[in-house]
Amino acid sequence: MHPESLLEAFGTLGLFAIVFAESGLLVGFFLPGDSLLFTAGLLASRGTLNFPLIVVGCAVFAIAGDQVGYVIGRRAGPAIFRRPESRFFHKKNVDRARAYFEKNGPRTIILARFIPVVRTFAPVVAGVGQMDYRKFVTYNVVGGILWGSGVTTAGYVLGESIPDIDKWLLPIIGVIVTISLIPILLELLKMRRDGKADAVVVAEQGEGS
């Protein structure tokens, strides 16, 4: 799904629909959010799309998508996680989600915007973990504006500043995708280090006893 082809085929309304689906509907995790927003800004710099409209619209639909994701998690999550026949769908996972979002909720809601796949599931998990609604809304708005308007504006500014940027579009999209994956890799490394640290503590406690 090349971003430029998607935008040429579905236009502004298609852009808004994709942003909405990727932000909060679980089926939208595979959609190309970052590269799509950047390409939309680039096309706006050429006059193909209306820049003020897409800057405002992308932020609004990103925020709305996360709100829907939160509601899905809040209403359906606990009931699903109480299913006894599954190891994953278990109440202890709800408790873990709640504890995590009490501690890291604001940061997670904002940073998740810039991480593919994670931004689709983060609001749902926040709902499952019953993150304070007012706090969620506040940071959802901040994250939605930074991502929806920010990435689009970056594409527009580069399109205005660099002649013939079209021929660099694919490499730029590749860089955007790579940058988007960095937070995931850093988090995985952190989890690995924390896991090793916990193992050392357990071993020391065992020796001490």
Torsion angles phi and psi, residue 87, rounded to 5 = -70, -35
Mean pLDDT by 10 residues, the chain (209 residues): 80 92 78 83 91 96 94 78 55 61 74 80 85 91 93 90 70 68 66 58 47
What residues make up the domain containing 56?
A: 3-208
CA distance 176 to 179: 5
Q: Residue 58 burial by CB count (10 A; 0-12/13-18/19+): exposed, middle or buried?
A: buried
The reported pTM is 0.75
Give the number of domains in the chain.
1
